[in-house]
Amino acid sequence: MKDEVVLEMKNVNKTFPGVKALTDVSFKLRKGEVNALMGENGAGKSTLIKVLTGVKDYEMDSGEVRIEGNPVVIKSPQDAQRKGISTVYQEVNLCSNLTVAENLYADREPMKFGLIDWKTMNRKSQELLSSLDINIDVTKVLSNYSIAMQQMVAIARAVDMDCKVLILDEPTSSLDDQEVEKLFMLMERLKKQGVGIVFVTHFLEQVYRIAEHITVLRNGTLVGEYETKNLPRVDLVAKMMGKSFDDLAEIKSEGGSTKKDEVILEAKGLGHKGTIKPFDLVLHKGEVIGLAGLLGSGRSELVRSIYGADKADEGELDFKGKKLLIGAPIDAIKNGMAYLPEDRKEEGIIADLSVRENIIIALQARRGMFKLISRKEQEEFADKYIKEIQIKTASRETPIKQLSGGNQQKVIIARWLLTNPDFLILDEPTRGIDVGTKTEIQKLVLKLASDGMTVMFISSEIEEMIRTCSRMLIMRDGRKVGELGEQEIDQMNIMKAIAGGNE
Amino acid sequence: MKKFKDIDTNKFLLAITIVMFFVMYIAGMIIFNKQGFAKPQVFLNLFVNNAGLIVIATSMTMVMIIGGIDISVGSLVAMDCMILGDLMMNKNWGAWASMLFVLFIGIIYGSVQGFLISYLNIQPFIITLAGMFFGRGMTAVISTQMISITNETFSAIAQKKITIPLFGTMNKHGKMMYPFIYPSVIIALVILVVMFVVLKYTKFGRSIYAIGGNEQSAMLMGLNVKKTKFFVYVLDGFLASIGGILFCMNTMAGFVEQAKGFEMDAIAGAVIGGTLLTGGVGNVFGSLFGCMIRGTIESFISFQGTLSSWWVRITIALLLTFFIVLQSIFQKVKAKN
Amino acid sequence: MNNKGFSLKDLTKKRLFMPIACLVVVLLINLIKTPDFFNISINNGVLYGYIIDVINRGSELAILAIGMTLVASSSGGTDISVGAIAAVAAAVITNILSGGTDSVSEFHAPLAVAILAGLLVAVLCGMWNGFLVASLKIQPMVATLILYTAGRGIAQLITRGQITYIRVDAYKVIGSQFGHNPVPAPIYVAIFMIVVAALFLKYTAFGLYVQTVGINAKAARLVGLNPVKIQFLCYMICGLMAGIAGVIYSSRIYSCDANNIGLNVEMDAILAVALGGNSLAGGKFSLPGSLIGAYTIQALTTSLYAMGVSSDQLPVYKAIVVVIIVSLQSPELYKLIKHHKKTGAEKKNLIKEAVQS
């Protein structure tokens, strides 16, 4: 019984134009177990799940899916549900304007005389939830309940639709400890009923509490499947972070950022409710500070609160010796900060505008509407950076959306370099771009620092942080949990700090 | 007893509307007591004068619940009235045949708009704006002159008094006068109840709420989003034509300028009655109260006597703004929690 | 088959292709149906002829199109209250000039003061729309629907339900001609506004800001722009343009008819923007496109008049044009056609197989 495989994916391949998203990935889930699917950004977790649940445009190129040994083809998420695979997302995929009962029985409502039988529906819902030990009023509108409760309702719906495989996609990201505990109790109960659970999360703590197996993906390939009890935390982090084998070893000696004493930024008790707990921070001129932590650890949230992208709601900030009140990003820009956001597509590029316009927009915003940068100057600026950081584009008038990811990222870096900032924040600047461009960006960071710029660098790749950073801050669960000086920065120390715990 | 924090904001909005209606009506009875505002007939006239609007606001509520909007209804009503007039008066059609034809036109109108909105995924605003201009223009194509309807059958249906043997009053000649309504009121109320049942007790109705709440989720739950949207607009066209016929029974005429701004009255009725502009929430009985508030304002202005009738429109616009702002504030508060 | 679709797509990608093509088609049809369409003569010292009429009558529309273009680009919505705002502005101006009576033969207040007041009220209307859309995040069409319906009511209240006549020659200038200059004055006003707008867009970063906000408001905020302020400004400018159009409308008839000034013009302005190759869902815009679009629409209107269509019936044709344009802009249409072709081909294959077996 324990070893009965309920779901098996074999040698799954998936290519998007220009990107190989999954290469020969295999995955196995046994009845009544929790298998944690882990990996950093771009590892291929979400692609794998989308392929499995038949999301549009995610049909696999090759490979095989078997449910209880029988090969199946899954055409759509609905089809997946019919075949026994249900998914509960972090953003609850229910209708929060309907009652709990309706959400449980939407599209399969009990009918009487051709009309919906609300009484039966409510009674059955109440029974279903009580059987799972969830005690809420099913006649109330779903939005009255917390996200945690809504997720449990979603799980209950899945269970009632006879699911054999339950995929929980980062269900705990926005839950507090108590809520997580409740969710785990529900998961234990489902395990006993023989449901196989795929658990996607970034929280190591939780994985070690509930999962029997851990499957690690990296860069679209399978690193391996391990028994939780035989895999120490540090090993897990190492497997997730991996080691880049690109030949970059010489960079550091070349640039070698040295710490200077002049303080440029000091944060005292800065925080943003719900995302980042109050933190203190001191940065010096000309240093490269790495911000390490797993996805969801608060590393992006920390820099966003400094830059004013999410306005800090407590604490204070001194920048260049002056107390700063940042209400919106423009205040940060005017004082010499720059921020390359994590989500290039949603928050970085202005898709339909040309490379030239994308480069000058921040400087233009800083100068103000009436001090237009002349066309000639704009072209000079654009040409300068296209040459200097080697942006590959047909012309400076090409819409940025036609460039490759790496070149789009370079355009955004150019946009900020043009404003000549004292403090540059780079949030995952090298994600999803080719090795060559990665190296270029790393070199650029070191050069900027040696010219006196302070750079904050966030990356999921430990190797590149080790090479570029002179100091590292470690984040975990929305908290700044540690700091490593230049001498302490090495793979082992970082992973230990990120993993936490006692191992 | 529910605790205050348990009351959900949508019900709270609706409660404001109902209280507002009664406060306004009672205020009217006090201010215009001499002119006879307190008479039961004045109350019934709220229904008599607004039968068409009630049906259209009901339909608008449905469209807004699914997250859409329809600003073509005013023009469609004008076109319906004109077609009725033209068929009965110039083409010698029978009353019933003319009415059936108008209902058919409504379905066609709804189908075209529904197809463009759901299957071509074009903003409902643009499409129904075009629909609004098309309808008004077609009305003028049929006739730029006013057509008065004197068809006997139609008049008989329109003006059949149904007395209510309660709250009678003596008139000057010592005759007992009972308050009355017309068949149009009964039709409007029947449609209101039917739509309530459809929205609350059928899969179609619940799909409308689900789609308005979260289209993505609705699709994952296995609902057919495009088809449901399409049929909502078809039904909307049909109901708007019923509204048009009831409206015509009130005016007994067709002319180009008729029912101008009707779309805003219907939208205001729905929004004041607690329908969210963002979709997913709404109740046809709330919209009934929305319409009655509009009716009450209209009565105020006619009882007052000296104010221009334009004040009705301006007051409604202000009220609509007030409720929109209220919704917006509630949503911001909710998002913060 | 495939090849043709591709080249058509390439051609239509050129920004000004659509408006120019439409303008040419409209003019060609006229050349055939109404040959005297292109005749120009001088009557009573004014240029006269259909084509002059198009340029003259198109003045207000061109001015409105400037505002509508900005609104559509920055907020992905349209302002349907422009006609009503024009009426309000005209009502304010005539009411100040007439001092509250229905017909006057001399000004009761300086003309400049009256016009400034009218424009100020129009700007306030625009700010109201901007507040609802940019600050309260209400869908643009619902927000502007409020003034669309209430605006004419307000105008009626200002004119007390009367048509106010200003029988003073100085008031007729803007709507007729400057001195003995044969070119109608509205054309000069339109050219002036277009030049001002073009210079403003050329020498400030406003156009870039508007497009950035329209394409990606989140990114716009992170590069230091204030999307709320920029959208608000667009609606304000749109209000001002509506006010200027209102001045011309009113001067043409030296009166204010609150019910009819700028009637149905919102549809024309939206059409001009869409026809100009601008997406009504926001983003990049082309002012020349919108302007060509505006004159194309006016040419269409004038041609329909020339063919004997009454003004009440015009909206029918324009509604059809709108539906065609937005349908062509819809990516879903091409998916549907593709799907249809595919299933058609599959059926053919099935038949083939059946025949072969």
How high is the pLDDT of residue B5? 44
Report d(CA A349, CA C218) in Å as an integer. Answer: 10
User: Which fold is adopted by the domain C2-308?
Assistant: ABC transporter involved in vitamin B12 uptake, BtuC (1.10.3470)
In the prediction, which pLDDT does C176 show? 85
- What CATH architecture applies to the domain A5-97+141-231? 3-Layer(aba) Sandwich (3.40)
CB proximity list for C247: less than 8 A, separation 6 or greater = C89, C90, C93, C115, C118, C119, C174
The HSE-up count of residue B312 (CA atoms within 13 Å, CB side) is 23
pLDDT digits (tens, 9 = 90+) for C60-84: 999 999 999 999 999 988 999 999 9
C311 CA to chain B: closest CA distance, Å?
Answer: 9
Instruction: Please report residues of A whose CB lies closer than 8 A to that of C211.
Output: 350, 352-353
Angstrom CA distances, A441 to A136, A204, A399, B301, stand at: 53, 30, 22, 71
| 8 Å CB contact between B120 and C333 | yes
Whether residue A503 is predicted with pLDDT greater than 80 in this model: the reply is no
* pLDDT given at position C275: 86
Task: Measure in Å the smallest separation between the Cα of A345 and chain C Cα atoms.
Answer: 9
- How far is residue C157's CA from residue C155's CA, in Å, rounded to a whole number? 5
Quick one: pLDDT at residue A257? 46
Q: Highest mean pLDDT range out of A480-484, B106-110, B297-301, C106-110?
A: B106-110
CATH number listed for the domain at residues B9-25+40-336 = 1.10.3470
Task: Give the chain A residue nearest B210 (alpha carbons).
Answer: A95
Q: Give the closest-approach CA distance of B280 to chain A in angstroms.
A: 6
CB contact under 8 A, C142 and B69: yes
Quote the ipTM score: 0.83
- Which A residues in the span 142-181 are in contact with B, Cβ-Cβ below 8 Å? 143-144
Q: Which 3-state string (H, E, C) describes A153-207?
A: HHHHHHHHCCCCEEEEECCCCCCCHHHHHHHHHHHHHHHHCCCEEEEECCCHHHH
Ranges A35-39, B56-60, B270-274, most confident = B56-60
- In whole angstroms, give the CA distance from residue B12 to residue A141: 14
Q: Quick check: B131 contacting C, CB < 8 Å?
A: yes
Tokens of A188: 């234990």
Q: How many CB pairs under 8 A join B and C?
A: 128
User: So what's the pLDDT on residue C201?
Assistant: 92
Distance to chain A for B202, nearest Cα, Å: 5
| Three-state secondary-structure class, residue A34 | strand
Interface residues of B toward A, Cβ cutoff 8 Å, are 6, 8, 197, 200-203, 206-207, 209-210, 212-214, 216-223, 280-281
Ranges of each domain in chain B: 9-25+40-336
Indicate if the pLDDT at residue B173 is higher than 80. no
Above 70 in pLDDT, residue B254? yes
Q: What proportion of chain A, given as a percentage, has pLDDT over 90?
A: 25
- pLDDT of C75 reads 92
Q: Mean of the pLDDT values across residues B75-83?
A: 95
| Identity of residue B187 | I
Nearest C-alpha in B relative to A108: B203
The per-residue pLDDT for range C125-140, each reduced to its tens digit, is 999 999 999 998 888 9
CB-nearest to A353 from C203, C211, C226 is C211
pLDDT digits (tens, 9 = 90+) for A163-176: 889 999 887 766 77
Which residues of chain A does CATH 3.40.50.300 include?
5-97+141-231, 244-336+424-432+455-503
Give the pLDDT score at A486.
77
Residue B7 in this model has a pLDDT that exceeds 60: no
What is the distance of C-alpha A196 from the center of its chain?
25
3-state secondary structure (DSSP) of residue B36: coil
List CB contacts (< 8 A) between C327 and chain B. 116, 120, 122
Q: Which pLDDT value is given to residue C281?
A: 84
- Yes or no, beta carbons of A353 and C226 under 8 Å apart: no
Q: pLDDT grade, residue B6 (50/70/90)? A: very low
Interchain CB distance below 8 Å, B310 and C336: no
Contact A352 C218 (CB under 8 A): no
Q: Name the residue among A188, A210, A185 with its Cα closest to residue A35.
A: A210
B10/A285: higher pLDDT: A285
Query: What average pLDDT does the segment A253-276 reach?
Result: 72
Separation of alpha carbons A455 and A441, rounded Å: 12
Tokens 């400057």: give the residue: C178
Chain C positions contacting chain A at CB under 8 Å are: 203-206, 208-209, 211-212, 215-216, 218-226, 283-284
Q: Tell which residue, A296, A291, C238, A142, has the closest CA to residue B209.
A: A142
Q: Is A98 on the interface with B (CB under 8 A)?
A: yes
Query: Are B213 and A97 inside 8 Å of each other by CB?
Result: yes
If you average pLDDT over every residue of chain A, what do you get?
A: 84
Whether residues A97 and B209 touch (CB distance < 8 A) is answered with: yes
Q: Is C156 helix (H, G, I), strand (E, B) or coil?
A: helix
Residues 6+ apart with CB under 8 A from C65: C269, C272, C273, C276, C290, C291, C293, C294
Query: What pLDDT is attached to residue A359?
Result: 95
- Picking from A95, A122, A145 by the largest number of B CB atoms within 10 A of its own CB, the best residue to mutate is A95
Q: Does B119 sit within 8 Å of C146, measured CB to CB?
A: no
Instruction: Give the pLDDT band (50/70/90) at residue C356.
Output: low
Q: Where are the domains of chain C?
A: 2-308, 317-357
Q: How far apart are CA A329 and CA A326, in angstroms?
A: 7
Q: With an 8 Å Cβ cutoff, are A78 and B217 in contact?
A: no
CATH architecture of A244-336+424-432+455-503: 3-Layer(aba) Sandwich (3.40)
Average pLDDT over residues A87-92: 78
pLDDT cut 70: percent of chain C above it: 92
SS3 A317: strand
Q: Do residues C242 and C85 make contact, with C-beta atoms less than 8 angstroms apart?
A: yes
Residue B201: list chain A partners with CB under 8 A.
Answer: 115-116, 118
Per the DSSP assignment, residues forming a β-bridge with A67 are: A7, A70
B174: left (phi over 0), alpha (psi -120 to 50) or beta: left
Range picked from A382-391, B185-194, C49-58, C160-169 for highest mean pLDDT: B185-194
Q: Which residues does chain B have within 8 Å of residue A144's beta carbon, measured at their own beta carbons?
A: 6, 8
Query: How much of chain B exceeds pLDDT 90, in percent?
Result: 47
Most confident of A281-290, B304-313, C78-87: C78-87
Within 8 A by CB and 6+ apart from C94, the residues are: C114, C159, C164, C165, C166, C250, C255, C256
Higher pLDDT, A314 or C5: A314
How does pLDDT run across A16-49, given as a tens digit for each residue? Answer: 776 778 889 999 999 989 999 988 766 788 889 8
pLDDT of residue C215: 94
Give the A window 475-494 contacts with C, CB below 8 Å. Answer: none
Interface partners of C (3+ CB pairs, < 8 Å)? A, B
Q: Inter-chain contact C316–B277, Cβ cutoff 8 Å?
A: no
The DSSP result for B56-103, as a single string, is HHHHHHHHHHTT-----HHHHHHHHHHHHHIIIIIS---HHHHHHHHH
| B313/C150 CB distance under 8 A | yes
**Res. C224: pLDDT tops 90:** yes
Q: Is the pLDDT of residue B34 over 60?
A: yes
| Chain C partners within 8 Å of A328 (Cβ) | 221, 224, 226
Report the relative pairing of strands A34-38 and A196-200 from DSSP bridges: parallel
CA angle A224, A230, A234 (to 5 degrees): 75
- Tell me if chain C has a CB within 8 Å of the CB of A333: yes
Query: Can you tell me the distance from the alpha carbon of A276 to that of A313, in angstroms, rounded to the nearest whole number?
Result: 10
Indicate whether A352 pLDDT > 70.
yes
Whole-number pLDDT of residue B337: 60
Within the 217-276 window of chain B, which residues sit less than 8 Å (CB to CB) from chain C? 256, 261, 263-264, 267
Give residue-wise pLDDT tens across range A116-141: 999 999 999 999 998 888 888 998 88
How far apart are alpha carbons B280 and B151 in whole angstroms? 43
| Chain A residue nearest residue C200, CA to CA | A370
What mean pLDDT is predicted for residues A335-344? 91
Please determine, for residue A241, whether its predicted confidence score (pLDDT) is greater than 80.
no
B133 and C332 within 8 Å at the Cβ level: the answer is: no
Question: Would you say residue A62 has pLDDT above 80?
Answer: yes
Q: What is the pLDDT of residues C157-191, one digit of tens each?
A: 898 888 888 888 888 888 888 888 888 999 999 99
Residue B270 CA to residue B281 CA, distance in Å, equals 11
> What value does the mean pLDDT take over residues A248-255?
45
